[in-house]
A and B are shown apart, each in its own frame.
Chain A
Amino acid sequence: MTTTETEPDQEEAQEERPIGFGRLLRKEDPRLIRGMGQFVDDISLPGMLHMAILRSPVAHARIVSIDKSAAEAHPNVVAVITGEDLAAQGLAWMPTLSNDVQAVLATDKVRFQHQEVAFVVATDRYSARDALELIEVDYDWLEPLVDVRAALDEDAPIIRDDLDNKADNHIFDWETGDEAATNEVFERADVVVSEEIVYPRVHPAPMETCGCVADVERVSGQVTLWCTTQAPHAHRTVYALVAGLPEHKIRVIAPDIGGGFGNKVPIYPGYVCAIVASLVIGKPVKWMEDRTENLLSTGFARDYVMKADIAATKEGQILAIRTNVLADHGAFNGVAAPVKYPAGFFGVFTGSYDLEAAHAKMTAVYTNKAPGGVAYACSFRITEAVYLVERIVDCLAYELDMDPAELRLKNFIKPEQFPYETKTGWVYDSGNYEPAMRKAMDMAGYAELRREQAERRARGELMGIGVAFFTEAVGAGPRKDMDILGLGMADGCELRIHPTGKAVVRLSVKTQGQGHETTFAQIVAEEIGIPPEDIEVVHGDTDNTPFGLGTYGSRSTPVSGAAAAMVTRKVRDKAQIIASGMLEVSVADLEWNKGSFSVKGDPSKSVTIQEIAMRAHGAGDLPDGIEGGLEAQICYNPENLTYPFGAYICVVDVDPGTAVVKVRRFIAVDDCGTQINPMIIEGQVHGGLADGVGMAMMEIIAFDEDGNCMSSSLMDYLIPTALETPDWETGHTVTPSPHHPIGAKGIGESATVGSPPAIVNAIVDALKPYGIRHADMPLTPSRVWEAMQGNHTPPI
């Protein structure tokens, strides 16, 4: 049973210094607003050297020879290492997170522009860069494969000839749903609409690029790695497996992280090179990539070409959706997703609608581009799935000449149908879609906007209103289904209450700006009544935190947040037993008052959690069988994913003379279940909405026919500024998750998932007078102009 509040309690939301849930200023901020954060590049160790990486200038070439003698002769250079040097140690290749291998440094050939070829270690960062210029590499140029649609042609160049018997560029085929049942529905449907929908390659481009400081102690063999990682424990175990070292010889520390968005999940060759360099030289080594390296070589996102069909009755009842996807994974399959899910969670492409049937199939291929694929707040490919369904539903609305909001309302899964199993096997835990949609329409003044649009159209003006409704699947995940490289996706959490009643909670997840130090203190505070300022959150250091797989896929609150709540309840249960001894009543006679236990019916007899903590650590007897101390550790295995949802409405104006699009308004109503800190939730939503403006209108990692990346700096890869983004209008409903201990669902990626279709739908709606039903992102002025001239072409 779910309950839905459509009106937030503003009084509660504004409560100052709540003990538990509510708006609370962030514990992270005092250091960050003083410039006193510690990011990886801020770390400086005695004797530290600097590393720089030589990268391939071309997309596909055989390495004939490398002459490093001039670089080695540079007075400030300590070492120059090539792929051959690494191969001698068996380190030229490393595993990816999807059971492929990736070159640490290229030995045989280079497979994408800016692939790692050699590295230099020098006494300062300028000299390291200088010495790169002195390395001579002779390349034998090979034909590059750039066009994903030609990847499986018979005459396509073979990229992965390093793999045994590999005679094509095929990576995997995948399918979900019932093909026969879906085709049967399509045959009898009144209306079938088909469209090719492209989600171009984009890049998370966090403000801080990737990098590390590696420090290997020669005698003990202890490796310490300060690293821009979202998943310190996962990284440590992969290093341990690759190097054959025990985990306790490796300490991964993720200090303050300047944004991640999935870009900082994979293990990059640069990290491995820095560790090797420190091991070989015996001194700490720092590597920080520059912006071009970040854009050209690290985890990109999307790159799906999706053929979509939707079947419906002429009255607008959606019956089925099917899709056939071509996925460009680049030169190595470096996708970070649970192993049983090579397409991530794309299977939720059925969206928020009650369908009779659905089917998807996918083919993933290699091309001469950088590896990656799952990044940029995508919730494991749900960005692509939501964009597909929300775009094709709008295409259907266009053909039926129906209002897109009405079409969605007509087809929503009904509240009484939850838990709802989709036709592709996903069990949505809770949802109440219509109130969220209605709320967004009310906030937007939807009917009035449509009237205004009609008036403007009559005057020849181009105004568009875009609607999107999404359901996400986040919080990976149940260990029966989900692991990465064999590592289960359950999360540990440890809570210790000190004698004075202050607490320290240790997490396996790691913030990159999401505010874990605040939110997790609030979760513990809510459960045990200790003020958040008295609760220290420790995270990002494998030596000081329990095992867990890290922060991505909006999993921190659904998995580690649940772990924090459950470990606190475990401590509270023990506290109750100690309290029963202190008050000399049975455990059953006590009631909890968020911070104290009192005797039922006699509230004057009570003990605070602080008094209990002192007793737990103090002298005197404890109840039989109870040890001293007040602490606990658990590993939380989620029962299911959580399914946040939201209704987004975007209003745009398109200049008919220049095709410039202005996002006039954006209304976002999100439901992430129970809200822990509404201020932080709003911030998460805002950031994702700006991502949407970027992807829908500006951002693309593009290549020329030779495989040169055309998006090599922030002058070419355009990211929204304060001028392209409107003042966001946000609202929420609350439909708790029934299986999560506090009912929370996760919010980190909802807006990145939901906003691109709302914006594209708005722009396409504005262009309706031109007879346009679909246009692909990024809808830059030139691409909108081409569409207006009838010359729309896909971006890839």
Chain B
Amino acid sequence: MQVNMKVNGAEVSEEIEPRHLLVHFIRDQLGLTGTHWGCDTSNCGTCVVLIDGEPVKSCTQLAAMAGGHDVTTVEGLEVDGVLDPVQEGFMQCHGLQCGFCTPGMMLTARALLNADPDPSEDVIREAISGQICRCTGYSTIVRSIQWAANHETSVSLESAS
């Protein structure tokens, strides 16, 4: 079957099997390997992408279901060579170690900050609680997202100039 969607701002149109999972479509067919796969049961969240701005576990979604929607993967966070404050925050605050859960964590963080520019620690922890990180113990991820919240404006200004 044919599926059409927007991925990181670009229209894509591909032939797929109806059973293809979105995560495999993104990774294998589009070659965007920043989206990872970790569990098949919606527990680990390393496959999180944004669909119309909402975090979605792409291992539990058919590619066909994303048809007509707007998908953002980690590759779409950096725009015109300017990092998203969330990406910068993860570097500054050591929010990643092996980097495997990181794309999903950052996309959830981006969706959170779009909805709530100044989230409390509890709100941040709740937001990322559907995702697992085995390396960081989460404190530095929380700090990374707080860093991003505190630098949204300045980074946006830099990118505008």
Contacts and interface: CB of A to CB of B under 8 A. Distances in A.
A425 interface: no
Interface in A35-49: 35-39, 41-42, 44
Nearest to A725: B138
A288 to B, nearest CB: 8
B130 to A, nearest CB: 8
A291 B78 contact: no
A257 B28 CA distance: 19
A79 B28 CA distance: 22
A34 B137 contact: no
Given A125-B28, A208-B36, A714-B39, 4 more contacts: A32-B99, A513-B135, A687-B137, A727-B121
Interface in B1-58: 17, 19-20, 24, 27-28, 31-41, 43-44, 46
B40 A26 contact: no
Contact of A714 (B43, B103, B140): B43
Contacts of B137: 686-690, 725, 728
Interface string A722-747: 11010110000000000000000000
Interface residues of A, number: 56
Given A291-B41, A727-B121, A722 B138 contact: yes
Contact of B100 (A258, A679, A721, A723): A258
In the A-B complex, list the 7 residue pairs whose CB atoms are closest, starting with the nearest. A35-B34, A513-B98, A258-B100, A32-B99, A686-B137, A35-B74, A513-B97
Contact of B38 (A37, A208, A514): A208
Contacts of A728: 137, 139
A64 B47 CA distance: 40
A691 B46 CA distance: 18
Interface in B84-129: 87, 90-92, 94, 96-103, 106, 121, 124-126, 128-129
Q: Chain A interface mostly helix, strand, loop or mixed?
A: loop
Contact of B98 (A206, A292, A679, A721): A206
Contact of A715 (B33, B34, B38, B43): B43
A291 B38 contact: yes
A205 B98 CA distance: 13
Most central of A290, A512, A513, A514 by chain B CB within 10 Å = A513
Interface size range on B against A: 35 or more
29 contacts: A33-B74, A33-B87, A34-B34, A35-B74, A41-B27, A41-B33, A44-B28, A44-B31, A126-B20, A204-B134, A206-B98, A206-B100, A206-B134, A207-B132, A209-B38, A259-B98, A291-B41, A513-B97, A513-B99, A513-B100, A515-B97, A683-B97, A686-B140, A690-B136, A691-B134, A714-B41, A721-B131, A721-B138, A727-B139
Contacts of B74: 33-35
Interface string A513-547: 11100000000000000000000000000000000
Interface in A677-709: 679-680, 682-683, 686-691
B63 interface: no
A41 B37 contact: yes
A29 B91 contact: yes
Given A126-B17, A723-B129, A291 B39 contact: yes
A758 to B, nearest CB: 14
A28 interface: yes
Interface of B: 17, 19-20, 24, 27-28, 31-41, 43-44, 46, 73-75, 77-78, 83, 87, 90-92, 94, 96-103, 106, 121, 124-126, 128-142
Contacts of A683: 94, 97, 135-136, 140
Given A29-B91, A34-B87, A721-B131, A257 B98 contact: yes
Contacts of A715: 41, 43
A25 interface: yes
B140 A32 contact: no
B152 to A, nearest CB: 17
B100 A208 contact: yes
A119 interface: no
B147 to A, nearest CB: 12
A765 to B, nearest CB: 23
Nearest to A43: B33
Contacts of B40: 290-292, 713
Given A35-B74, A41-B37, A257-B98, A29 B90 contact: yes
A559 B136 CA distance: 24
A172 B130 CA distance: 43
A28 B97 CA distance: 9
Given A715-B43, A723-B125, A728-B139, A259 B19 contact: no
Most central of B24, B140, B142 by chain A CB within 10 Å = B140
Nearest to A679: B94
Nearest to B132: A719
A790 to B, nearest CB: 34
A126 B25 CA distance: 12
Given A32-B102, A727-B142, A207 B78 contact: no
Interface string A116-135: 00000000011000000000
